[in-house]
Amino acid sequence: MRGFLKTSVTNVHIPRVFIDRAITLSDVITLDGPKAHHLCHVLKLRNADPITIFNGCGGEFHGTVAEIKKDQLQARIERHDPVSRESQLRIILLLAILKKDPMRQALQRATELGVSEIRPIWTQHLSDGKSQSARRFEVWQSAVESASEQSGRTQVPLIAEPQSFQSALLQIQSEPIDLRLIAHLNQSPLNVSSEAVIPMASLALAIGPEGGFSETEISAAVDAEFLPFSIGARILRAETAPAALLAYLQTRFGDFSI
């Protein structure tokens, strides 16, 4: 499902499309592939219909359909709106790699919840084989792009190359991040009054696979200055956990508290 955003002025749904290229005013942008197919044959866009395009370089561009060919659509850019719908809290998600569909759901929800960067990690209790996940990058990229389009985001979260949990810990430890968290069962609720920098600019959150993190991984994370915590007493599925945990963190430190 690709993205729409209801405009407050006209109350119509205008399709939003992400493209990974520079855009300038009065450009004519050619869209092809699955995005153009969806716009032409599912949404049945016609000449002069409005369309919104963004490229992650700031704001979004409004234009209209200039021409439709079989599986190709051309859009004329008419106006730039410098709007941002990004959270001021930079969240880096260390996400255990899940099987294809749960991973896609986890990535979509994390994007809707405003994550800035996703670093897929191989953990001890692997949910999916390394060779399968190495081939899934396109599926993952498509999940975050369509979730950004749908949710009105003006950025698409970056997805890093999959790496071992240990190397992700080392990388995060060397970066200037205000708070490092690891979500794990049967821990205390988050108590950050002594640890956190307020207002917080950045945090890293690690979420485990279906089998959870091993105790060795939790110890390694603690050594790398991660704080283990739980939310509530229930076990969330691995694809539910990103949405619940990110909503909680955006409420405490990010733009859900505005």
Report if residue 162 touches ligand SAM, rule: CB under 6 A.
no
Q: Which DSSP state fits 12?
A: -
Least Å distance, CB 206 to ligand SAM, is 7
Cα–Cα nearest to 108, from 62, 49, 68, 156 = 156
Instruction: Give me the 174-213 binding string for ligand SAM, x by CB under 6 A, dash otherwise.
Output: ---------xxx---------------------xx-xxxx
Q: Which DSSP state fits 39?
A: I
Instruction: Give me the 116-155 binding string for ligand SAM, x by CB under 6 A, dash otherwise.
Output: ----------------------------------------
Interface size with ligand SAM, residues (CB under 6 A):
18
**Distances from the Cα of 172 to the Cαs of 10, 118, 162, in angstroms?**
44, 12, 14
**Distances from the Cα of 157 to the Cαs of 13, 64, 118, 246, in angstroms?**
23, 26, 7, 14
Phi-psi region of 232 (alpha: psi -120 to 50; beta: other; left: phi over 0): left
Query: Which of residues 70 and 234 has its CB atom nearest to ligand SAM in the complex?
Result: 234
- Token pair in block for residue 63: 């234009």
Least Å distance, CB 153 to ligand SAM, is 24
Report if residue 237 touches ligand SAM, rule: CB under 6 A.
yes
Least Å distance, CB 178 to ligand SAM, is 20
Least Å distance, CB 233 to ligand SAM, is 7
Query: Does residue 5 sit in helix, strand or coil?
Result: strand
Query: Which of residues 45 and 183 has its CB atom nearest to ligand SAM in the complex?
Result: 183
Query: Does residue 168 sit in helix, strand or coil?
Result: helix
Is the Cβ–Cβ distance between 123 and 209 less than 8 Å? Answer: yes
Q: Contact residues for ligand SAM (CB under 6 A)?
A: 183-185, 207-208, 210-213, 230-232, 234-238, 241
